[in-house]
Copies of this chain bind each other. A is one copy, B any other.
Amino acid sequence: MALDRVKALVFDVFGTVVDWRGSIAREAEAFARRNGLKLDGERFALDWRALYQPAMDKVRKGQLGFVKLDLLHRMNLDELLARHGIAGLPEAEIAHLNEAWHRLDPWPDAVPGLTRLRDRYILGTMSNGNVRLMVDMAKHAGLPWDVILGAEVARAYKPDPTTYLTGVEYLSMQPAEVMLVAAHNGDLLAARKCGLATGFVGRPYEYGAAQTRDTKAEHDFDIVADSFVDLADKLGC
């Protein structure tokens, strides 16, 4: 793919730009302390995230109409709390924990890399997170997005082609003028099928030291980098 055609970079966010596992673990432990509970924060984060794809699958398969990720996160949190036998907490406490996804911290290279990339490219989100979640996270983490794209504006969850192609349409570009940047092989393959350029940024500790999947690029993506700063170097920014 001719990279000199690329005018916009759109980013997977959870895991690629921000460290959901570390951030959710910290928030879960603070939640437990405030409410006199005992929780393994890291375990809680991984268990919550494990419910993420099955919840979106309900929408992908048409068993559930499109709902925002905030609501799927909440349904999953309610299930997880019930599994832990946690009940009777104030609604504000549960809502605050659910919004922990709005307050995820970036990987250390994310903001420095994006800041360099932004001079040359339009930078957008291409996340399954809803618009408000992305906006709150950007303000929290200092992420310099030019535009929020992704699942909610397409009313379809990745890897549905509609998600990528609706983003391309809002950008008034051809698919080959847009590169998806992601730490996940499957996301990039789906984008490539839609004609987008692809950039893999490795996040081998997204799920912790024992991570086995997505530890490296498994296909010949247009660019393979090990951080956003490396990506900026490789794109000559």
With contacts A138-B146, A139-B146, A146-B139 taken as known, whether A152 is within 8 angstroms of B131 at the C-beta atoms is no
**Cβ of A172 and Cβ of B139 under 8 Å apart?**
no
Complex contacts, A132 vs chain B, CB 8 Å: 170-173
Whether, in the assembled complex, A75 has its beta carbon less than 8 Å from a beta carbon of chain B, the answer is no
Complex contacts, A130 vs chain B, CB 8 Å: 172
Whether, in the assembled complex, A214 has its beta carbon less than 8 Å from a beta carbon of chain B, the answer is no
Contact string against B for A residues 95-114, beta-carbon threshold 8 Å, 1 for contact and 0 otherwise: 00000000000000000000
Query: Would you give the shortest CB distance from A60 to chain B, in whole angstroms?
Result: 21
Whether, in the assembled complex, A46 has its beta carbon less than 8 Å from a beta carbon of chain B, the answer is no
Q: A131 contacts which of B68, B70, B135, B147 (Cβ < 8 Å)?
A: B147
**Cβ of A171 and Cβ of B131 under 8 Å apart?**
yes
**Cβ of B146 and Cβ of A170 under 8 Å apart?**
no
Whether, in the assembled complex, A148 has its beta carbon less than 8 Å from a beta carbon of chain B, the answer is yes
**Cβ of A135 and Cβ of B139 under 8 Å apart?**
no
Instruction: Give Cα A138–Cα B134 distance, bound, in whole angstroms.
Output: 18
With contacts A147-B148, A148-B147 taken as known, whether A153 is within 8 angstroms of B135 at the C-beta atoms is no
**Cβ of B153 and Cβ of A139 under 8 Å apart?**
no
Complex contacts, A135 vs chain B, CB 8 Å: 122, 146-147, 171
User: Apart from A131-B172, A132-B173, what 13 extra A-B contacts exist at CB < 8 Å?
Assistant: A122-B135, A122-B139, A131-B170, A131-B171, A132-B171, A132-B172, A135-B146, A138-B146, A139-B146, A147-B148, A152-B170, A153-B153, A153-B170
